[in-house]
């Protein structure tokens, strides 16, 4: 399957503003590129590429006063298969986890494990270890939070989503990640493209999507509490502890997102 994806973003600045951008596809998907994936800047400006502490491909710029447009368009090969399901994937004892996985058991900016631990153990401590426990968490989060773009809140934590019972894909991911970490299951936040491939078209503009991965049986596995069903055509951009680590842009000065357009769809010809 060939998928075409890309975006055009506009940022308005009133002064020279350093920015960190996490807008490239993840290094693990570069081998699948059918065309180059290059960020284009209008107006042109110096660009510094770097790899962050989580292995994501990132970019540094200093946006000048006025509007800066950032865009990309590319084709990528995809298997066309839904997210794999591995019911036999086992849960590691904490002492057996690799050192670099341990950070994904800890609380973070949006994953306030200290506020959710008692609830997690009271409601999921009886579920089967491993895949079944993560799926039980996803079932709960999927039914507990109502998706609503109008109720997006960039300051809402996992506990906030638990209390408000509304939000967007990042809120589903944060709550599921937090519950998994409380249950000693390493979980990390993922962001990327997810088009309407294999499902009926949805009645709202395309967007980037958030999901999560858990470490079971020696591997990272994809889960999506918002959709709660295996999906086709995910294109991973970045992973981290929560949305802070994979923000599309981190701005060191007053900045307004003035334009936002994302596309991702199957190319059939």
Q: In the structure encoding, which two tokens stand for residue 119, read together? A: 């609830």
Which residues does 73 contact at the CB level (< 8 Å), separation at least 6? Answer: 4, 5, 6, 263
> 170-191 b/e with 16+ CB inside 10 Å = b?
bbbbbbbbbbbbbbbbbbbbbb
Which pLDDT score, from 0 to 100, does residue 205 have?
A: 78
Residue 213 pLDDT: 98
- Whole-number mean pLDDT of the chain? 96
Which tens digit of pLDDT belongs to each residue from 203-214? 777 889 999 999
| Distance set, CA 37 to CA 24, 207, 229, 236 (Å) | 7, 18, 29, 13
66-83 residue pLDDT tens: 999 999 999 999 999 999
Dihedral Cα 239, 145, 142, 154, nearest 10 deg: -10
Q: Is the pLDDT of residue 134 over 80?
A: yes
Q: Residue 135 in contact with residue 86, Cβ under 8 Å?
A: no
How many other C-beta atoms are found inside a 10 Å radius of the C-beta of residue 156? Answer: 22
Please report the pLDDT score of residue 149 as a whole number. Answer: 87
All structural domains of the chain: 2-79+248-267 (2.60.40.2250), 94-240 (3.10.620.30)
And the tokens for 205? 């503009």
pLDDT at 206: 82
């Amino acid at each position: 399957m060939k998928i075409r994806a890309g975006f055009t973003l506009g940022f308005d600045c009133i002064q020279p503003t350093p920015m960190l951008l996490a807008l490239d596809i993840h290094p693990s998907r570069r081998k699948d590129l059918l065309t180059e994936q290059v960020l284009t800047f209008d107006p042109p400006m110096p660009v510094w590429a770097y790899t962050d502490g989580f292995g994501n491909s990132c970019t540094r710029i200093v946006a000048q006063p006025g509007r800066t447009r950032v865009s990309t368009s590319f084709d990528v090969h995809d298997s066309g298969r839904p997210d794999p399901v591995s019911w036999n994937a086992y849960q590691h004892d904490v002492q057996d986890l690799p050192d670099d996985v341990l950070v994904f058991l800890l609380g973070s900016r949006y994953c306030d494990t200290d506020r959710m631990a008692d609830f997690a153990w009271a409601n999921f401590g009886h579920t089967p270890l491993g895949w079944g426990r993560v799926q039980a968490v996803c079932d709960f989060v999927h039914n507990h939070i109502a998706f609503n773009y109008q109720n997006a809140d960039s300051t809402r934590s996992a506990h906030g989503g638990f209390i408000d019972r509304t939000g967007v894909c990042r809120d589903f991911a944060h709550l599921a990640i937090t519950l998994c970490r409380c249950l000693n299951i390493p979980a990390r936040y993922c962001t990327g493209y997810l088009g309407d491939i294999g499902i009926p078209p949805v009645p709202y503009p395309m967007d980037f999507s958030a999901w999560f991965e858990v470490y079971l049986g020696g591997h990272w596995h994809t889960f999506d509490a918002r959709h709660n069903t295996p999906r086709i055509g995910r294109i991973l951009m970045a992973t981290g502890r929560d949305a802070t680590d994979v923000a599309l842009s981190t701005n060191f000065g007053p900045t307004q997102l003035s334009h936002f357009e994302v596309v991702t769809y199957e190319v059939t010809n």
